[in-house]
Copies of this chain bind each other. A is one copy, B any other.
């Protein structure tokens, strides 16, 4: 369930200057607070489901990460802010001792938000002290890890608060700005790719998680992929053709899920007075047919693909397609996918900054994958079962946190992330 995987500790990944690091540290930490800014202390304490965490917990846990993996060991005379936090804000690093149980993160009305903000300042100041000195490459590497980790939580903060607000019948908006109209969707074109034997996985010096390595050779048979993402309108046609009432499009396990939970539409769709609406971080809005479909799980993505006479891409097909394409960044003031983009005839659109795209690849170790040493890397492979890989990035992904080799992953039932799909076919 946990998606924040182990982290790559190669000291040589990326060599920042201390001054650059400080600037980057400040930027990332400030971005986290900016995400929390529209929220009240009450908004930040509640846990809306087992898989989500309170915003306050995110604020604390990301600070705990720096304290635990960097400050305690590397800053002489560092004083732990509060010894209870070791347990309260440990997510799942069990070699560090007990964790406060995940389902009870929402019970933590104390420490208060104000205490947690003090904790953040305490950690920030200590990191500043640390970086006033020359630090080892390993510490720099750990610091970069901490920042990447915090960016993952920034996306989770947005999806967790969206989940919470959706369960409030007042449908509060996280952002008060109006959501602009979606760009008109182009017709659904296919781009063809020849068979290729090519390396997949991360190469070079930039930051990456360990699950992107080792890079290795794989053979990709010829295939086609859709130029753009599937839209709400196309998914609505699926629903109107009987989607959730017909077993033939669905995996056997998906049929059980539909029956058990009486599913009839994607997570945040809402039917009212004869019309479809969609709950967004900008509030409840009429369903925009040209926007990419969003908040569907693996079962729904897979069923739509079968309905469309296609299939989901493999993660390597996606990586091959994205290899030469630019990595786009989302506009943080429009927290909902809206499609659009332009490109040449052989150029896929909407790879990034719209919705994560389900692949048909089970989340597994690459051949030769080996976990890092110590608690940081202790559980690298811990989530590599019964989950599927998503590629790309979403409207909620922070700048600098997407790349062609990035492997996001969620269980087949998860719907609260910004998840959609594009189609593929073997040729």
Contacts and interface: CB of A to CB of B under 8 A. Distances in A.
A421 to B, nearest CB: 15
Interface string A352-389: 00000000111011011100000000110111111000
A216 B427 CA distance: 13
A27 interface: no
Contacts of A169: 84, 87-88, 100
A110 interface: yes
A94 interface: yes
Interface in A86-140: 87-88, 92, 94-95, 100, 104, 106-113
A: interface residue count bin: 35 or more
A412 B426 contact: no
Nearest to A171: B110
Contacts of A167: 104, 107
Interface string A182-202: 000000000000000100000
Among A42, A172, A216, A384: residue with most chain B CB under 10 A:
A42
Nearest to A95: B248
A42 B197 contact: no
A252 B365 contact: no
Nearest to A218: B219
A87 B170 CA distance: 11
B367 A426 contact: yes
A17 interface: no
A40 interface: yes
A262 to B, nearest CB: 11
Contacts of A1: 252
A5 B95 CA distance: 42
Contacts of A218: 218-219
Interface stretch (A43-51, A149-157, A270-278): A43-51
A325 B44 CA distance: 50
B168 A197 contact: no
A168 B111 CA distance: 10
Contact of A197 (B88, B106, B197): B197
A252 B386 contact: no
A425 B101 CA distance: 35
Interface string A403-417: 000000000100000
A400 interface: no
Given A88-B170, A253-B386, A369-B426, 10 more contacts: A42-B42, A42-B44, A42-B110, A92-B252, A107-B167, A221-B368, A248-B378, A253-B385, A298-B385, A386-B412
